[in-house]
Amino acid sequence: FFLSFSGMVQKLDQKLPVANEYLLLSGGVREGVVDIDLDELNVYARGTDYDMDFTLLVPALKLHDRNQPVTLDMRHSALCHSWLSLRLFDEGTISKWKDCCTIVDHINGATNYFFSPTKVADWFYDSISIVLSEIQKKPQRGMPKVEKVEKNGTIISIILGVGSSRMLYDIVPVVSFKGWPAVAQSWLMENHFWDGKITEEEVISGFYLVPACSYKGKKDNEWRLSFARSEVQLKKCISSSLMQAYQACKAIIIKLLSRPKAISPYHLRSMMLWACDRLPANYLAQEDYAAHFLLGLIDDLQHCLVNKMCPNYFIPQCNMLEHLSEETVMLHARKLSSVRSDPTEHLRTAIEHVKAANRLTLELQRRGSTTSSPSPQSDGGDTNQPDDRLAKKLQQLVTENPGKSISVFINPDDVTRPHFRIDDKFF
């Protein structure tokens, strides 16, 4: 379904690359899978609003023909952010995307077009809305039911009803690069926990600009560097017990530290990567140390809050907590102290929330199977079972390939033949 409508979006005005590459991540933006501010996102609850969540990075522009470090225009931006001039592209690209740019005229008479994340997000939302409207006018057998389409800041959130499952997709328009940004070049010179486990070529295969600005930046112009593709690779080198501790810690803090918005799961992910670099590999490999690791992550987070310092893993000179007030960090530090004094109780509460969400999902599915009438987007046949298989297959594809890069290649002229790639293997 997504591959089909992505091809239709491309055909509207031929803005998207003809043969595009999409990165699918397990977990929504609210789960911290990419570094995007959460304060502009509507609150969705697992069990109440959705059952499974994913993030789909959709390149609006690609720069894939460079072998040297990519130099970005960071003169106007905070660290880890950049403006993007369309001078890097050909005249055809500039002509197509002019209406999604801010224009700066120079004294010498030259005009510079800066790719605008807010205008790109507006265009993408409008295009998706047009295409979904057209699709729903001519429903086909087995088509998912579009239950919600909302613009949350610069991302588009879509909830699909697939059989008795509800799947949340946070769709993020991005700029995709092959290679590595020059600003993060020094990071490669340091020793890291993944050395010898995966190759440097796997880690630096590409990066993105995502539509998020700094706290003092200009929203219409500023993009944030994202290393989502690299993070997928690094997860291969993290032990299962540490990942368990990370998931547990995330479940605790995602509600406890949600107001005021200050700490996101992405901060916690960065702290975990730093811990992997800092601690001995044989200690992190202990299979029965998940409880130790949970306490360690809480302590690391507490340390970051008290010192108001959380370096970006790939660009350490960027402090991701620099903008916070002293009152906010001390408020969260006090909350975290209560967790550290009784982690078992807080973890039990988090588990009960998950169980309640699962019970709600099962109850909604049970009601749907006993009272639902045929979907107007189907031909009245019993499509719930195959649709459920489709939903579960996608979930299985992501969960059975932990740490692997799952990409989708689309040709809008033949959307019946998508290609899924897991690392270098195609399906």
pTM of the prediction? 0.84
Domain 1-194+205-227+404-426 sits in CATH at 3.30.460.90
**E-assigned strand segments in 134-183:** 145-152, 155-162, 165-178
Give the span between the Cα atoms of 303 and 301, in whole angstroms. Answer: 5
- pLDDT given for residue 130 in this prediction: 92
- pLDDT given for residue 414 in this prediction: 58
- Letter for the amino acid at 17? P
pLDDT tens-digit profile, the chain (427 residues): 777 778 888 888 889 887 788 888 989 998 889 999 877 788 888 888 999 999 999 999 988 755 566 778 888 888 999 999 988 788 888 899 999 999 887 666 678 899 999 999 999 999 999 998 888 787 777 788 889 999 999 999 999 988 788 999 999 999 999 889 999 999 999 999 999 999 998 898 889 999 999 988 899 999 999 999 999 999 999 999 999 999 999 988 877 776 667 788 899 999 999 999 999 999 999 989 999 999 999 999 999 999 999 999 999 999 999 999 999 999 999 999 988 888 888 888 888 877 887 788 777 777 765 544 333 333 333 434 444 555 566 667 666 665 555 565 555 555 555 555 555 555 5
Q: Which residues pair with 319 in a beta bridge?
A: 311
Q: In which residue are the tokens 């099962």 written? A: 362
Dihedrals phi, psi of 199, to nearest 5 degrees: -80, 155
- For residue 127 the two structure tokens come to 């295009």
**E-assigned strand segments in 153-271:** 155-162, 165-178, 206-210, 223-226
Q: In which residue are the tokens 């030259």 written? A: 110
Dihedrals phi, psi of 176, to nearest 5 degrees: -105, 135
End-to-end CA distance of the chain: 17
Give the span between the Cα atoms of 78 and 199, in whole angstroms. Answer: 30
- pLDDT given for residue 100 in this prediction: 95
SS3 417: coil
CA distances to 1, 197, 413, 420 from 417, in Å: 12, 34, 10, 10
Parallel, antiparallel or unpaired: strands 206-210 and 223-226: antiparallel
- pLDDT given for residue 415 in this prediction: 52
Give the span between the Cα atoms of 302 and 345, in whole angstroms. Answer: 18
- Letter for the amino acid at 312? N
Parallel, antiparallel or unpaired: strands 165-178 and 52-63: parallel
Give the span between the Cα atoms of 78 and 315, in whole angstroms. Answer: 12
Give the span between the Cα atoms of 356 and 182, in whole angstroms. Answer: 47
Give the span between the Cα atoms of 402 and 362, in whole angstroms. Answer: 26
- pLDDT given for residue 401 in this prediction: 66
